[in-house]
Structure 1
Amino acid sequence: MKVEIEKIDKEKLETARLMVHEEDESIRRLSGFIERENYKHMLLSCYKDDEIHQVKCREIFYIESLMEVQYIHMNGEIYCTRKRLYELERILPVEFVRASKSVLLNTAKVERYKPIPGGIMMAEFENGDSTYISRKYLKGLRAQIKEGLL
């Protein structure tokens, strides 16, 4: 399926138009997902202290992978998930980008980027936490920031 995106003025109402051969249950679910703007308020199931929590993705600062467990860093809280980083990368909103082999960061929560000797960069968050952006991912991230995609 081809996706077309058109930027419009802030004063205009955002709309989505689905042109399909047949309307089935999956298309109706997609339509409802878009209409309710669920993509803006996505929840992620995590655990902490043997309890399952639903965390709002927009409140996540970064996700760090250590020994097959992904630690979800939020403002003063850390949750865990067994989902792999590549799985999270596929389901999380576009603000989440790969910063290194073991980190996904939420660019909407980054307060500043600081270059570090050696060709890497530090991302500092609103809550005082920070994480490194490796050389491998820095070029792509820098291009997205300059283009205003993030």
Structure 2
Amino acid sequence: MAQSNWGRKVMAAQGYMAHRRQIEVGLWTLFFSVQWLAQFAVASLENRDGDRGFQSWEFLVWEGSSILMLALLLPLLLAWDRHFPLQKGVVGRNLAIHLLLTLPWSLLHVVGMVAMRTAIYHLEGGSYNFGHWPAELFYEYLKDFRTYCLLLGIIYLYRFLLVQLQRKTHLPGRPEVGEPAAPVKRPERFLVKKLGKEFLVNVQDIEWVEAAGNYVNLHLSGRVYPLRDTMAKLLDRLDPDSFVRVHRSYIVRLNFIAEIEPLESGDARIHLENGQQIPVSRRYRDQLRAQVAPA
């Protein structure tokens, strides 16, 4: 029974991943719709006596234009996060960049929603007055700063949950019973030289590897260590249960893979847990699938 329940959970998780993009669009649409209705309800209750001289449709337009602009700006926020991910080694620098990006984010939000409101009021035969721009911009920025942080937090929380779901769908089956294979001795660490110094790099800390001429760059926790080696020779020295080659120029540690995104070209793209994206060529795609989800 427990195995059956586990199987149903895995099938449900695989179903979610198969329709992930459509579900994500639906969830974001639901999120912004609820925000719109909730803010409209609050504004209407505050004006339930009509003593402020505004009509209900005006609150609907105000809140709707604001929420719609936030929805339109969401892809921009995602693009900024791809360029400045909050990952180990660069979190401080990129967090400061995100704080600066709240300024153009707020400005775009305000300009866009004011343009929408002005157009709608014009169609109604009236005019829209945003108020004193310096004061209103500062007021809107305080709200937009909070919203930016909220959306970014939701994105990272969702990615964390997605990683857990991805792991659930790719759990390897039980190993077959048989004679144990002879253990293969593999290095636990590499000695690399960088900036005139020598460093010991633990193999278990390597997240991904990139070819660089006569060297390979070992990436771990936002740092890069060059090792004089070829991709083929390095792969022979790495544990095949932990590392997989996905491109002639890239090797990835399996435990750091958060998502495999298929592309229309037949290639794919790997999203690591730290937000890094790695290309997967068609030549290595089947091998990747076999190692991620062995039969």
The TM-score with structure 2 as length reference comes to 0.37
Q: Is the 8 A contact 2:209 2:252 kept in 1?
A: yes
User: 2-side partners of 1:122 and 1:67: how far apart?
Assistant: 23
Aligned residue among 198, 216, 219 for 1:73:
219
Q: Counterpart of 1:27?
A: none
Query: Is residue 121 from structure 1 mapped to residue 277 from structure 2 by the alignment?
Result: no
Q: Give the aligned residue type for 1:71.
A: N
Q: 1:55–1:7: structure 2 CA closer, same or farther, 3 Å change rule?
A: farther
More helix by share: 2
Can you give the 5+ residue segments of structure 2 that lack an aligned partner in the other structure? 1-174
* AA aligned opposite 2:283: K
Question: Where do 5+ consecutive residues of structure 1 fail to align?
Answer: 1-5, 9-15, 19-29
Distance 1:122 1:67, change over 3 A: same
SS at match of 2:232: helix
Question: Which of the two has higher C-alpha Rg?
Answer: 2
Confirm or deny that 1:82 pairs with 2:228.
Answer: yes
C-alpha displacement of 1:106: 0.9
1:146 and 1:92 mapped to 2: Cα distance? 19
Corresponding residue pairs, total: 119
* Identical columns (%): 22
Where has structure 1 moved over 4 Å in runs of 4 or more? none
Change beyond 3 A, Cα 1:141–1:51: same
Name the SS of the counterpart of 1:45 in structure 2. Answer: strand
Cα RMSD after superposing both structures: 2.5
Structure 1 residues 76 and 140: alpha-carbon distance in aligned structure 2, compared to 1, 3 A threshold:
same
How far 1:64 moved relative to its partner? 0.5
Q: TM-score, normalised by structure 1?
A: 0.69
1: CA distance between counterparts of 2:221 and 2:249? Answer: 20
Indicate the residue corresponding to 2:238 in structure 1.
92
Conserved 8 A contact 2:214-2:230: yes
The structure that is strand-richer by fraction is 1
